[in-house]
Structure 1
Amino acid sequence: MGNKCGRGGSSDPDSAWKLQNKEMETNPVFKYVNFAGGGKLIDAFKSGGEVAVEKIAKTELQTYLYDSGNGSMIKKVDFIRWQCKCQAKITGSTLWETRTDEQLLDEYKEDYFNKFHEHGACWDLNKRGPVGETSFHILYLMDTPVHMEVAKVLLRLYPRLSLDVYEGEEYYGESALHIAVVFGNLEAVKLLIEKGADVNQRATGRFFLPEDQKKSRSRETNYEGDAYYGEYPLAFAACTGNMEIYDYLIEHDADPNLQDSFGNTVLHMVVISDQVDMYKYIVRHHKRPAKTHITNKANLTPLTLASKLGRHKIFKEMLELGSLVSLMFYHLL
């Protein structure tokens, strides 16, 4: 009998939003920070500044955190039970409650994209929002000066919040760092990394897949997707054309040659997103130039991918850069 707590709970593209909307009034995560621009932490900052936020963080938020904010490791069986509990809200099934840890582990069918690895966390998994989010994540999604000031207070008190990722299948693996990169918030990126954020964390949830992979995995893909940015924060920075953030991530050990679920590196991703200037910048990067000959799972290099996708401008640039590099090596012989 297959485990029903893996991927495939819903094919509705709006399912995550519907879950969040349904729990907006009842889930404590939204009591502290909500999508309407308010929440207890926001109101506290507006009326009493950092001191008021710190008071709530110390007297109330600690109960939502592992070991009073010192963090813990999320083990696979804990993750499976949380998935089952989330799906039970939709299906009403309580069968999973009768299963032993061994049975759940044995029956679990791991998602092709969202591969679970034991990882550190600060916010208790069982006290999160419906898609595995935390109030801390919502602060970064709102991205206003007030929300960022509140985030700074929380990070100062509980730096391990920087490790927390969305645990639900829709946005699985997305961290506050990914969000800060997308918004181009260099200050937030610096602070998160300073506090321990993983610069090579992967965001593999359904939201981040090419459109033709969202309902079911297929061997062929055109890589087109509004939020397919290559999973890694560095690839996110490249796809959004942010050289400053790209440099900062490289300086803190981000690797441009890591491959995502489709085998794509940062260079493949700038081809897909048609970022000509970023391609030139990354190939000739002063600290860590990216490798140009890595093939993805379709056996395509960035150059052959550009040809396949009809990215004529970037393809021409690649040929010119390739000739320049060859000439440079020729003069060194």
Structure 2
Amino acid sequence: MKRLFGFGRKRKGPPGGASPPCNPGAYELREKELGKLHRAAASGDVAQVRQALRKHGLDERDKAKRTPLHLACANGHSEVVSYLVENKCKLNLCDSDGRTPLMKVRDIGNLIVGKTFPLFLCCLQAVQGQQEECVAVLLAHGADPDLADAAGNTALHLAALAPNTSLAGQLLEHHALIDKYLYQMINCLSFLGCFRTPLMTAASGGKLNLIKLLLRYGADVSHKDINGWTAEDYAVIHGYSR
């Protein structure tokens, strides 16, 4: 990474003794808390979704303010996503975490349907092409890639945590803001902005291919967060100085 960023070797520990920013939080739901429409969307059953829509609204919310599109995207069910989008569902509605369906395609949180398991395991069960198709459908129909969730994460920040660069590439091709800031509420009495960029997020995880992609699209390597850390600092702090 030293060659990529073009800087000299940095300090090994977090500047000022502060802790590195943490990942966005997760939320959980159980199957019994989901209605028929949301269960069908989460399971990828287009026929059941079509039937449930006779009695339920296209953008009906569950207890976490998620629409059927949120659940279909979270599980990588591109057929359900396409069906909902073609029937003019709303693309940019936010759930209780402030996340749009586009953000849920590659969320790092937990989704519980029937039994407890991490969302990334659910994503691994789906074909990668389906996930990419979900993103493609949403972006092609006008989903906003620059909306931020309650923690300040955009879809590009979350894509920077994914094991491949294809999703980030799609977002960048649709002109996602590459240096949109990440901030985080520390508590109800004080605010400490992290102002992390997607490049910093990628550097924190040592994602070399994604770093190259972000740099190719003009990511600012000199940008500093509120602690004065650059992307290279994040790489060194997390053990990716090479």
Smaller-chain TM-score range? Answer: 0.5 to 0.7
1:26 to partner: Cα distance = 3.5
Provide the residue aligned with 2:97 in structure 1. 131
Q: Which amino acid aligns with 2:159?
A: A
Rg comparison, structure with higher value: 1
Percent identity of paired positions between Structure 1 and Structure 2:
18
1:163 lines up with 2:146 in the alignment: yes
Counterparts of residues 201-212 of structure 1 (less than 5 Å) = 201-206=180-185
Query: 2:191 & 2:153 partners in 1: Cα distance?
Result: 23
Provide the residue aligned with 2:46 in structure 1. none
SS in 1 for 2:177: coil
1:240 lines up with 2:205 in the alignment: yes
Q: Which amino acid aligns with 1:57?
A: V
Provide the residue aligned with 1:175 in structure 2. 154
Provide the residue aligned with 1:152 in structure 2. 136
Instruction: Give unmatched runs, 5+ long, in structure 2.
Output: 1-24, 35-61, 108-118
**TM-score under structure 2 normalisation?**
0.59
With a CA cutoff of 8 Å and minimum separation of 6, indicate the structure with the bigger relative contact order.
2
1:140 lines up with 2:177 in the alignment: no
Report how many aligned residue pairs link the two structures: 172
Counterparts of residues 114-129 of structure 1 (less than 5 Å) = 123=92, 127-129=93-95
Query: 1:217 & 1:32 partners in 2: Cα distance?
Result: 35
Residues 214 and 247 of structure 1: CA distance in aligned 2, closer, same or farther (over 3 Å): farther
SS in 2 for 1:204: strand
1:35 to partner: Cα distance = 9.0
1:252 to partner: Cα distance = 0.8
Query: 2:162 & 2:155 partners in 1: Cα distance?
Result: 11
SS in 2 for 1:161: coil
Q: Superposition RMSD on alpha carbons, in Å? A: 3.4
Query: 2:65 & 2:175 partners in 1: Cα distance?
Result: 26
SS in 1 for 2:144: helix
SS in 1 for 2:215: helix
Residues 184 and 17 of structure 1: CA distance in aligned 2, closer, same or farther (over 3 Å): closer
Instruction: Give unmatched runs, 5+ long, in structure 1.
Output: 1-15, 66-122, 207-212, 220-227, 278-333
SS in 2 for 1:162: coil
Query: 1:26 & 1:240 partners in 2: Cα distance?
Result: 33
Provide the residue aligned with 1:119 in structure 2. none
Provide the residue aligned with 2:226 in structure 1. 261
The 10-residue stretch of structure 1 (193-202 or 143-152) with the greater mean CA deviation from structure 2: 143-152
